[in-house]
Structure 1
């Protein structure tokens, strides 16, 4: 099992709209790819950054599913993020493997 983490720092004045969009639209679109088995959306409480920091975490069963998502789905979904929140957010990703 792998955890695909997307950390986003969003401007304060866009945070509520971003959160609603994530909960109502974006996460559903990611899950509809069928490549992830579950997700979590978290707010970072002690972020040293300006703005609000969130982490969207998606669980996938194997590397093949992750690579398929990354190659076939991520670019268009990331484009939608940029269309809706251009110059209001910055995101970075990480991929982690469960050990225990």
Structure 2
């Protein structure tokens, strides 16, 4: 299993509009590509010196091939839509991770 993590710092002036757009449009659009099994959106609680509000969005997929297929076929237009809507009001970096093992508490 692989995790495609996108960490985004958003300018406070567009924060609530951006959050709604991500929840209602962008994240569902990424999931509708069929490459990912789920998404988890978290707010980063550490305050950045540069200001803004930071989020981590983790998309889970079953294979590395699906992730690379997403990069080639889907990511360019989805990223373009994000940049066209919010321009330089956010910064993002992406991380790929491979899940080694999941742990659950004993019940």
TM-score range, shorter chain: over 0.9
Q: How many residues align?
A: 100
Looking at structure 2, the residues matched to 56 and 22 of structure 1 have their Cα atoms a distance apart, in angstroms, of 10
Q: Normalising to structure 1: TM-score of the pair?
A: 0.97
Q: Normalising to structure 2: TM-score of the pair?
A: 0.91
Q: Counterpart in 1 of 2:20?
A: 20
CA-atom RMSD in angstroms: 0.8
1:1-100 alignment runs, 5 A limit: 1-49=1-49, 50-100=51-101
Q: Runs (4+) of structure 1 moved beyond 6 Å? A: none
Structure index of larger Rg? 2
Ranges in structure 2 where 5+ consecutive residues have no aligned partner: 102-107
Higher percent of residues as helix? 1
Ranges in structure 1 where 5+ consecutive residues have no aligned partner: none
Report deviation, 1:96. Answer: 0.4
